[in-house]
Amino acid sequence: MLLLEALLAGLFGLLIGSFLNVCIYRWPRGLSVVRPRSFCTGCEKPIAWYDNVPVASYLLLRGKCRHCRAPIAWRYPLVEVLTAAAFFWFVWRFGASVGAAKYCVFSAILIALTFADLETRLLPDELTIGGALMGVVFAWFTPVVDSTVHLLALLAGFSAGQRTLSIAESLVAALVPAGILWLTGYLFEKIRHREGLGFGDVKMMAMMGAFLGTRGALFALVAGSLLGSIVGLAYIRITRKNASEYELPFGVFLGIGGMLAITVGGPMVEWYAGKL
Ligand SMILES: [Zn+2]
């Protein structure tokens, strides 16, 4: 039964991934995701439904438009497969539940932001601000897996219901790690006199906090920053780009940090907390 549910979730993930591809292309360009129907970005001819089946059409068309033979970006099947894998995994792990739905939505938002940043260096508000709101709403229906606010409330002598604490955790986690990121960017700008970080990254961090809770969000921020520094430096070295002109797609690394937080992050945070 669980396997069947997870497989159905995976199939649904393929469809959602296909929709995310539309969002990744259109939102950064200020276009509607509802109209018009999908079209080839090469010849602008509408794409028939049989050429728009997730992954399968890409393989059958060998990655080229049926009409103009323009290459279809590998991002299309990749986003579909990644979303399907995430949906399968979370339903497999948590069963068909609100908790699983929350992590499916969160990973879909992360995947869309990661690829939008990679391609356009833009993080659309629909995903960052819209996503943050969804994270807070989910906190009402399923408790945020974090106890930071709960502990602070106990220390301060407050008591509150589980739902109130969950919403509070989501809000605090949306503000604090994003605030740290914003302050870092602000100081960098003051000291180096160039912009190191876009406000889109700060909004993305807020979205992640709303879903992850304080510790998970801080884990994602640290993991993403470390990964971004290592990969960014290696990239500049290898391609011999001018370091002062290269713009690192930091949202990509935040996205990977977020995925790590909901897969390997939990146990690592526990291990680290145990060492303190
Ligand atoms: Zn075409």
Could you tell me the residue ranges of all domains in the chain?
A: 1-96, 122-276
Cβ atoms < 10 Å from Cβ of 193: 7
Distances (CA, A) of 136 to 104, 109, 208: 15, 14, 10
Cβ atoms < 10 Å from Cβ of 155: 8
d(CA 45, ligand 1 centre) in Å: 6
d(CA 40, ligand 1 centre) in Å: 5
d(CA 249, ligand 1 centre) in Å: 29
End-to-end CA distance of the chain: 42
Whether the bond between 143 and the residue before it is cis, its omega within 30 degrees of 0, is: no
Which backbone phi and psi does 135 adopt, to 5 degrees? -60, -45
Q: What is the pLDDT of residue 154?
A: 87
Per 3-state DSSP, what percentage of the chain is helix, strand, and coil (rounded to 5)?
Answer: 75, 0, 25
Q: Per-residue pLDDT for the chain (276 aa), expressed as one digit of tens each?
A: 899 999 999 999 999 999 999 999 999 999 999 888 888 988 999 999 999 999 999 999 999 999 999 999 999 999 999 999 999 999 999 999 999 999 999 999 999 999 999 999 999 999 999 999 999 999 999 989 888 888 888 888 888 888 999 999 999 999 999 999 999 988 988 887 777 678 999 999 999 999 999 999 999 999 999 999 999 889 988 988 777 777 789 999 999 999 999 988 776 666 666 665
Q: Read off the DSSP letter of residue 181.
A: H
Q: What is the pLDDT of residue 27?
A: 94
Q: What is the pLDDT of residue 137?
A: 97
Q: What is the pLDDT of residue 4?
A: 95
d(CA 111, ligand 1 centre) in Å: 25
Residues 85 and 90: their CA atoms lie apart, in Å, by 9
Alpha carbon of residue 184 to chain centroid: 21
Q: What is the pLDDT of residue 30?
A: 92
d(CA 26, ligand 1 centre) in Å: 17
d(CA 47, ligand 1 centre) in Å: 9
d(CA 240, ligand 1 centre) in Å: 35
Work out the widest C-alpha separation in the chain, in whole angstroms.
Answer: 68
Residues 81 and 77: their CA atoms lie apart, in Å, by 6
Q: What is the pLDDT of residue 134?
A: 98
Answer whether 102's CB lies under 8 Å from 80's CB. Answer: no
d(CA 69, ligand 1 centre) in Å: 6
d(CA 62, ligand 1 centre) in Å: 13
d(CA 71, ligand 1 centre) in Å: 8
